[in-house]
Amino acid sequence: MGGRGRKGRKEGVRVGVGRERGGNSITKGPGFWNSTETPDTKYDNWVSLLLDDRSIADLSIPGTHQSVANAGLVWSWCQSLSLEAQLSLGVRFFDIHLRHVDNNLPVYHAKVYQNSNLADVLKPIIEFLNVHTFEVVVMRIKEEVMTKQDDDYETTYNRDVFCKAVNDEIQRFPKERFWFNGDIPSLGDARGKIVLISDFYTDYPLGIPSSNLKVSDEWNVELGEKKWEIVRKHIKEVIAGSRNELCITFTSAKGGLASPGEIANVVNAKLHSFVCGKQERFGIIAMDYPGPQLIRDIIDSNF
């Protein structure tokens, strides 16, 4: 697989970034906020423009938190765009929370089923990679266990059953579309693949253990301004830290009467101002409701 050069291509990665549509069912805003409509913007090949020898830890990667959470009340909503639309916009990190229920792997946000199973998530991503073979997708799989008082789930919970179910489901798909190794790959090794991050106990080779990553995920925060200070501090640590360490900053939060959308409306605007025009390594930034402009800003920092 040949390397991809950066020089002379920076302006090329900007092609297709047109007008942004703001707004969804919660609020309206500029390009740091996404829409329920399919955006005009396309950033579907930006990873292909990067050199093969770059580690995925050395990149700035736009991602989504609870990537398919759009069911239930507003406190359960985190996204308004489909996986296909997110991929087209340039999102390359997906956060998937699962439970093992009746021999299935449904996606949950807290106790709310999100009308999808693991197979529903993997299928469009693999279809995307079948066409965009030089792209790379990173996916965290997390078991959605809330508390010991979450009796509806705890009574059926068994960590060995869960990890076996995840492994069995993934094995139904082409193996060449996954990075199962526990090491952090280079782009050359990971092209055309989903790089798995396992945030659960497993005896199976299901990617990079989340315990090996630097992660900020303080989600129980009532004020967007307070959450932004947490996010800014962690991103500054990522910039100053080792470029060999894979880092994830979750900008998402909810608390008190504040929904994920209300927090995101504050944090996304501040994040847009922080990253715009900078050529830094930000690591993975997992967001609620990111819009085309914010996603573009994070992508452009790689060039």
Range among 41-45, 155-159, 248-252 rated most confident: 248-252
Which CATH number belongs to the domain containing residue 58 in this structure? 3.20.20.190
Q: Is residue 2 part of a domain?
A: no
What's the confidence (pLDDT) of residue 7? 36
Task: For Cα atoms 99, 69, 174, give the angle at the middle one, nearest 5 degrees.
Answer: 60
Is residue 272 over pLDDT 80? yes
Q: Is residue 16 part of a domain?
A: no
The conformation of residue 184, written as its DSSP 8-state character, comes to: P
The conformation of residue 258, written as its DSSP 8-state character, comes to: B
Binning pLDDT at 50, 70 and 90, where does residue 298 land?
Answer: very high
Task: For Cα atoms 139, 144, 148, give the angle at the middle one, nearest 5 degrees.
Answer: 155
Q: What pTM was computed for the model?
A: 0.87
Beta strands in the chain (DSSP E): 60-64, 93-98, 106-109, 112-117, 137-143, 178-179, 194-199, 208-209, 214-216, 247-250, 283-287
Binning pLDDT at 50, 70 and 90, where does residue 154 land?
Answer: low
Q: Is residue 25 part of a domain?
A: no
Spacing of C-alpha 140 from chain mean position: 8
Q: Is residue 199 part of a domain?
A: yes
Q: Is residue 24 part of a domain?
A: no
Q: Is residue 176 part of a domain?
A: yes
Contact 46, 90 (CB under 8 A): yes
* Mean pLDDT value across residues 209-220: 93
What's the confidence (pLDDT) of residue 24? 37
Between helix 118-131 and helix 159-170 the angle, nearest 10°, is 30
Range of the domain at 77: 30-300
Task: For Cα atoms 201, 173, 128, give the angle at the middle one, nearest 5 degrees.
Answer: 105
Q: Is residue 141 part of a domain?
A: yes
Q: Which two tokens stand for residue 231?
A: 């996010």
What's the confidence (pLDDT) of residue 256? 83
Mean pLDDT value across the chain: 87
User: Of 132, 35, 63, 22, which Cα lies nearest the Cα of 299?
Assistant: 63
Q: Is residue 268 part of a domain?
A: yes
Binning pLDDT at 50, 70 and 90, where does residue 239 land?
Answer: very high
Q: Based on the number of CB atoms within 10 Å of its own CB, is 76 exposed (0-12), middle (13-18) or buried (19 or more)?
A: buried
The tens digit of pLDDT for each residue in 18-77 reads 223 233 334 345 566 665 566 677 899 999 999 999 999 999 999 999 999 999 888 899
**Choice among 38-42, 127-131, 261-265, 269-273 with the minimum mean pLDDT:** 38-42
Is residue 185 over pLDDT 90? yes
* Mean pLDDT value across residues 248-252: 97
Q: From CA 123, how far away is CA 288, in angstroms rounded?
A: 22
What's the confidence (pLDDT) of residue 102? 87
Q: How many domains does one find in the chain? A: 1
